[in-house]
Amino acid sequence: MRGPHNIWRLIRTGATFERTGAMGVVLDALDAPKSVRVAFRTLVWPFKWLGIEGDPSMPPATRALSALGPAYIKFGQILSTRPDVVGQDLANQLRVLQDKLPPFGVEKARAQIESELSVALPEIFSEFSEPVAAASIAQVHKARRADTGETVAVKVLRPGIERAFRTDIDAFYFAADMIETLAPASRRLRPRDVIKHFESVVMGELDLRLESAAASEYAANTEGDAGFQLPAVVWGLSGRRVMTMSWAEGEPLGDNAALDAAGHDRVELSERVLQLFLNHALRDGFFHADMHQGNLKVAPNGDIIAYDFGIMGHIDEYTRRVYAEILYGFIRRDYKRVAEVHFEAGYVPADRDVDEFARALRAVGEPIFGMDATRISMARLLSYLFEVTERFGMQTRTELILLQRTMVVVEGVARSLNPHMNIWHTARPVVEDYIKTSLGPRAVLRDLVLTTRVLGRFGPRLPGLVEAALIRQSEGDAPARRNPWPGRIGWSAAGAVLGAVLVFGWHYWN
């Protein structure tokens, strides 16, 4: 129920940040101006006693987010990959939220497995460990299969996690409604749509059968990717609340000291993790959308291992091409083309000035090129980007939220491995390859062939479709009779005629 009772939840959120000491830590990390600090403290301090105390052994920010629940923990996981935004100290504290949260009891995990799989645990696992990792939604146990002796990872959902997420999301919806009501200018950011998108992603993550299917599809897509591997799903030991996969042995990607000790090249790893993500997003349109350090390892042979497939992103071919053109334009510093792509895709209202938008984009891109990555203030850059979107009336694109968020996370992971990494230099070969295969003459020919095949299935019906279109157009638009092509039949009928010609040509040539 998204009613006023959620005010209590929001008040308790602020009170928890104040009570745990996280409010000051976060404001310091974001370098908030004095006026903002005074406003926040004035509003929140009277309710401090209502805040959740949390675990006193945790650092303040981690303590507050973990006390508030899984949705807040997810937010903290994202920030943990952005030391350039929140500072290295706070990022290190928040990294605990990735896979080192307090676990639930092993007996509860055993009971859930037996209930889900309808079999006694000793019959399927000869060994079953205490939790080896615990995150916001589930925890993982190391086990040995009784039938094969294979070492596996068993993922089990937290008890009551569905209800906990519903409570948080309910409050988020209420906050979005309040923001849209009190600040009409914020409606272009579509806060309700953003929360709705977040809800759909999270609720999908709460069904491990869907995660198993995503892992299987992802493995099929990336089978030939050098330096990358995935654990295999054990389908017979997986269900809605339990998922079993082969065990992934390696060093955590977030442990630089361990990576150095094992002799891994962190500079090469930083480039590979970014390029792998771009390849999966652009080439396949299906990518791991939760690629923080807690979900990545480095195998002894140097391969990057990804796991935890609860959040996967999907983008269609058209969106991939738009995204690639934008990236490629920035790489080539062709801001005019980047601006034109935004207008062509409808991301910027048509009544705005394309040249002015190109100059605004230049102000974003130019400070990055040629500058050491360690000197770039991502917080300042994001702030300016927000100003640009507001100035040009750009609405939030919900279909791109997951892609944009993952790009931010992956860049943060890469820069944690190599602070001097140049994202544009690293991305260039992947984007250029995609541009050549998806936007060049070959791509045009491939699109025509695919269109012809689709139209070919309607071959016998095409004459009737064209005639019906002609009749509808002539009846509905009398002046069009004086302008027979294409006004008389409209672009839909023109497309049908062109399709008929292509179908005829296709059958003739073959």
Could you read off the pLDDT of 174-220 as tens digits, one per residue? 777 777 776 666 666 567 776 777 777 777 778 899 999 999 999 99
- Residue 376 has a pLDDT of 59
414/281 same-domain check: yes
Across 442-463, average pLDDT = 68
Three-state SS string across 9-27, please?
HHHHHHHHHHHHCHHHHHH
Residue in the structure block whose two tokens are 């390696």? 250
Contacts of 482 (CB under 8 A, 6+ apart): none
pLDDT over 80 (residue 419): yes
Contact 322, 285 (CB under 8 A): no
Q: Is residue 1 part of a domain?
A: no
433/481 same-domain check: no
303/278 same-domain check: yes
Q: Among 439, 460, 482, give the residue marking a domain's end.
A: 439
CA pair distance 249, 231, nearest whole angstrom: 10
CA pair distance 293, 424, nearest whole angstrom: 21
Three-state SS string across 168-219, please?
HHHHHHHHHHHHHHHCHHHHHHCHHHHHHHHHHHHHHHCCHHHHHHHHHHHH
Residue 29 belongs to domain spanning: 6-99
pLDDT over 50 (residue 484): no
pLDDT over 70 (residue 488): no
- Residue 493 has a pLDDT of 36
257/406 same-domain check: yes
Q: Is residue 148 part of a domain?
A: yes
pLDDT over 60 (residue 502): no
19/80 same-domain check: yes
Active site residues: 290
Across 346-350, average pLDDT = 85
The answer to which of 128-132, 241-245, 371-375, 485-489 has the lowest mean pLDDT is: 485-489
- Residue 496 has a pLDDT of 36
Give the containing element (helix H, strand E) for 158. none
18/121 same-domain check: no
Q: Is residue 51 part of a domain?
A: yes
315/424 same-domain check: yes
- Residue 265 has a pLDDT of 95
The answer to which of 79-93, 142-156, 207-221, 330-344 has the lowest mean pLDDT is: 79-93
| Tally of domains in the chain | 4
389/456 same-domain check: no
Structure tokens of 473? 């157009």
pLDDT over 50 (residue 508): no
The answer to which of 1-5, 327-331, 338-342 has the lowest mean pLDDT is: 1-5
Helix, strand or coil, per DSSP, at residue 132:
strand
127/158 same-domain check: yes
221/261 same-domain check: no
**Angle, alpha carbons 208-134-143 (nearest 5°):** 70
CA distances, 139 to each of 135, 412, 483 (Å): 6, 24, 68
Dump pLDDT digits (tens) for 12-32: 888 888 888 877 777 776 666
Three-state SS string across 399-425, please?
HHHHHHHHHHHHHHHHHHHCCCCCHHH
Dump pLDDT digits (tens) for 398-418: 556 667 777 778 888 888 899
Contacts of 77 (CB under 8 A, 6+ apart): 94, 97, 98, 136, 290, 292, 294
Q: What does DSSP say about strands 251-252 and 304-306: parallel, antiparallel, or unpaired?
A: unpaired
- What percent of the chain has pLDDT above 90? 27
Most confident of the following: 53-67, 86-100, 239-253, 365-379? 239-253
CA distances, 360 to each of 112, 339, 391, 392 (Å): 54, 9, 10, 10
Contacts of 338 (CB under 8 A, 6+ apart): 325, 326, 329, 330, 358, 361
Q: Is residue 479 part of a domain?
A: yes
87/142 same-domain check: no
- Provide the CB-side half-sphere exposure for 283 (13 A, CA): 16
User: pLDDT-derived band of residue 483, with 50, 70 and 90 as boundaries?
Assistant: very low
267/293 same-domain check: yes
Across 268-291, average pLDDT = 92
Pick left, alpha or beta for residue 55 (phi over 0 → left; psi -120 to 50 → alpha; otherwise beta).
beta
Decide: pTM greater than 0.85: no
Q: Among 247, 264, 282, give the residue marking a domain's end.
A: 247
Q: Is residue 360 part of a domain?
A: yes
Q: Which residues of 337-360 are buried (b: 16+ CB within 10 A; e: fewer)?
A: bbbbbbeebebbeeeeeeeebbeb
Q: Among 420, 439, 458, give the residue marking a domain's end.
A: 439
Residues written for the chain:
510
